[in-house]
Amino acid sequence: MENEAYHVPVLLQPSIDGLNINPNGTYVDVTFGGGGHSIEILKLLDKGKLIAFDQDTDALANTIDDRILFVDQNFRFMRNFLQFNGITHVDGILADLGVSSHQFNVDARGFSTRTDGPLDMRMSQNGEKTAEHIVMTYTEDKLKQMFWLYGELKNAGKIARQLLLKREEMKIDTTEKLKEALLPVTPRYDDYRFLAQVFQALRIEVNEELTALEELLIQTIEVLAPEGQIGNYLLPQLRRQDG
């Protein structure tokens, strides 16, 4: 079930090695995506179990190995799910955070700076908050804080002000319209990097990525067995935002 079209996993072998897999243990891949990491875990399991979370229902199509117990939920519900199913401890948790290549490549999801699409950016099709909602309704202060914290944009204040001005004139509901609205504050050189940072900030806010991660990390303390391992792969995601 290797699914290169859906997502090419990064740091595959080091992340699997880091889990130090017990063939009879219980593992959770909280970011299943194309299943590239999960399939490697399965190869090392004998009587062990693999539970896979992904809040994107598109990922379900990649669960073609029936040993995977797929949960189409946010990983912030990991502890509840495990408790409900009588699983008190797990031996390893893997998190390959951020967006999959699939999510970037489907224009209708609105993640890519390169193609036009609805200003959506929800990883979960059931999510309530879209990037359009944020751009069209957040206060200037809230927008500024978001671009500053999640996009690390030095001109966060100017970006926020520009969006407030523009949204009086037009409905900013596509990625192209967002780019057009931001033209006056977009640097002439390095515009691609600027837009990648703007999109990253919106994506993190739409999906409440940092809150979900915080909740997950707190839960791992409770559910990991004493010798259990957690693997967290965040840095490559920053690179992938440019993809």
Ligand X SMILES: C[S@@+](CC[C@H](N)C(=O)[O-])C[C@H]1O[C@@H](n2cnc3c(N)ncnc32)[C@H](O)[C@@H]1O
Asked if 2 and 38 count as a contact pair (C-beta separation under 8 A), the reply is: no
- Asked if 74 is part of the footprint of ligand X (rule: CB under 6 A), the reply reads yes
Q: Which of 236, 151, 140, 139 is nearest to 194 (CA)?
A: 151
- Asked if 36 is part of the footprint of ligand X (rule: CB under 6 A), the reply reads yes
12 in helix, strand or coil?
Answer: helix
Please, what is the minimum distance in Å from the beta carbon of residue 74 to ligand X?
4
Number of residues that bind ligand X (CB under 6 A): 20
Please, what is the minimum distance in Å from the beta carbon of residue 139 to ligand X?
26
Query: Binding residue for ligand X (CB under 6 A) from 26, 27, 34, 51?
Result: 34
152 in helix, strand or coil?
Answer: coil
- Asked if 71 is part of the footprint of ligand X (rule: CB under 6 A), the reply reads no
- Asked if 55 is part of the footprint of ligand X (rule: CB under 6 A), the reply reads yes
Query: Binding residue for ligand X (CB under 6 A) from 91, 96, 120, 205?
Result: 96
Which residues neighbour 85 within 8 Å (Cβ) at sequence distance 6 or greater?
Answer: none
Cα–Cα distance list, 141 to 175, 179, 180, 203 (Å): 22, 20, 21, 18
Distance between CA atoms of residues 109 and 130, nearest Å: 10
Binding mask 194-213 for ligand X (x = CB under 6 A): ------------------x-
Report DSSP state, residue 122. Answer: -
Which residue stretch of 51-59, 79-87, 110-118, 177-185 sits at the interface with ligand X (rule: CB under 6 A)? 51-59
Of 96 and 205, CB closest to ligand X: 96
Asked if 119 and 174 count as a contact pair (C-beta separation under 8 A), the reply is: yes
Query: Binding residue for ligand X (CB under 6 A) from 50, 54, 195, 205?
Result: 54
- Asked if 33 is part of the footprint of ligand X (rule: CB under 6 A), the reply reads yes
